[in-house]
Amino acid sequence: MLSNAHFYHRIIRKVVVGFGTLFNNIKLYRYAKDGVTEIERITVPLSYAAKEKFYARLAEDPSLTKEVQITLPRLSFEMTSLSYDPIRKISTYNHQFFPNADGDVVNSMPIAPYNFNFDLYAYVRNTEDGTQIVEQILPYFSPDYTVTIDLSNLVDLKVDMPIILNSINYEQNYVGNTDQIRSLIWNLNFTVKGYMFGPVNQAGKIIRTVTANTFTDPALQNKERILNMGTGSGDYKIGELAFEGTRISTANSTGYVKDWDNVTKQLYLTEVVGVIQTGRKMFGAVTNTAYTISSYDVANQQLVKTQITPDPTTANANTAFGFIETTQEFPNIV
């Protein structure tokens, strides 16, 4: 129906694990009556569980004397809801492209913004323990704290997800009569600004080289010639008028010298008028240079060739890399 390809990126699981990891190393110190001497240090246990589960455990053993029951202090958290966030909507035409391990490009559907709502509970026996735990959490949220989560094992897609602290509630829970042992519960509500995305599809190869060519005016295509010259003497001067015939006024063809190579004996003429004939001499009107025309062809209109490659050439889209730029200009274009 929605997709013929099975996919499972474990995004919800990664968000849950990423959220819980923030609170898995909170420590609680207990002091003597002087408020300075440390008498006990506890790493507060963390588990994924609803508040009602702990209510039931406390009700089974209100005094918490059984060794198999839970001890306080303790932290638990749960994901309470998942909702679409229209404010962060991305255009449906904005597909994501990523490099994979084989150097190919893959793409996925546009990532969809979703809000993950979590509740974090702190269960303590006395007020001092609760306030100490909460004070180790609140300073990091003003009101958000950002974590980076890798959304997929198939592609390199790391996304920053803000975690927003929405509210803080405090309640006293008496299990049984009011003269029995109490438990204090802090409830912190969070929203994780996360994303979801669909199947990954093959898109093609990564572009490793970009070539840009610059050509002259297309209108000059039939007016420029490259002449291969035979025997003769002298050097043509760039810009001078060259003519084929006995004099300029009765020349069979004329043109202006755009380039002359005395080693390869190639003459580049522009603004050519008339019909060039092989076996005849081409004269320079200024320098009196004269060479016999062996052959000729329509000139290549390419003036500049620029190639850009990443440095290193194995760089992928999400890695830091530079560029190597190579520029070739007429007539030394390969």
112 or 205, higher pLDDT? 112
Q: What is the pLDDT of residue 67?
A: 47
Mean pLDDT of the chain: 81
Domain boundaries, the chain: 11-205, 225-298
Q: Which helix (H) or strand (E) holds 192?
A: strand 182-196
Over residues 261-286, mean pLDDT: 90
pLDDT at 57 > cutoff 80? no
The alpha carbon of 282 is separated from its chain's Cα centroid by a whole number of angstroms, namely 59
DSSP 304: E
User: Which two tokens mark 73?
Assistant: 């202090």
pLDDT above 70 covers what percent of the chain?
Answer: 77
Which band of pLDDT confidence, cut at 50, 70 and 90, is reported for residue 68? very low
Q: Note the CATH number of domain 11-205.
A: 3.30.2000.40
- Strand spans (E) along the chain: 27-31, 38-43, 46-48, 74-84, 96-99, 104-108, 112-124, 144-150, 158-174, 182-196, 200-205, 210-215, 225-233, 241-244, 253-261, 266-274, 281-284, 290-298, 302-311, 322-329
Span 25-31, average pLDDT = 89
Of the pLDDT bands very low, low, confident and very high (cuts 50, 70, 90), residue 324 is: confident
pTM, to two decimals? 0.57
What pLDDT is attached to residue 238?
A: 92
Residue type, 149: I
Task: Determine the average pLDDT of the residues in 256-273.
Answer: 90
Backbone φ and ψ for 194, nearest 5 degrees, come out as -105, -170
- Look at the block and give the residue holding tokens 């390969």: 334
12 token code pair:
């919800």
User: From CA 255, how far away is CA 247, in angstroms rounded?
Assistant: 13
Q: What is the pLDDT of residue 138?
A: 95
Split at pLDDT 50, 70, 90, the class of 136 is very high
Which helix (DSSP H) or strand (DSSP E) does residue 58 occupy?
Answer: helix 51-60
- 91-95, 126-130, 248-252: range with lowest mean pLDDT: 91-95
CA pair distance 215, 56, nearest whole angstrom: 81
pLDDT exceeds cutoff 80 at 126: yes
Structure confidence at residue 50 (pLDDT): 83
Q: What is the pLDDT confidence band of residue 196, given thresholds at 50, 70 and 90? A: confident
Question: Which amino acid, one-letter code, is at 180?
Answer: Q
Does 305 score more than 90 pLDDT? no
Determine the pLDDT at residue 217.
59
Which residue intervals of 90-229 are DSSP H helices?
Answer: 127-135
Instruction: Say whether pLDDT at 211 is over 60.
Output: yes
Q: Is the dihedral of CA 241, 245, 246, 250 positive or negative?
A: negative
* CA pseudo-torsion sign 47, 51, 54, 56: negative
Residues 6+ apart with CB under 8 A from 30: 38, 39, 40, 41, 42, 129
* Rounded-to-integer distance, Cα 238 and Cα 235, Å: 9
Task: Determine contact, residues 194/115, Cβ cutoff 8 Å.
Answer: yes
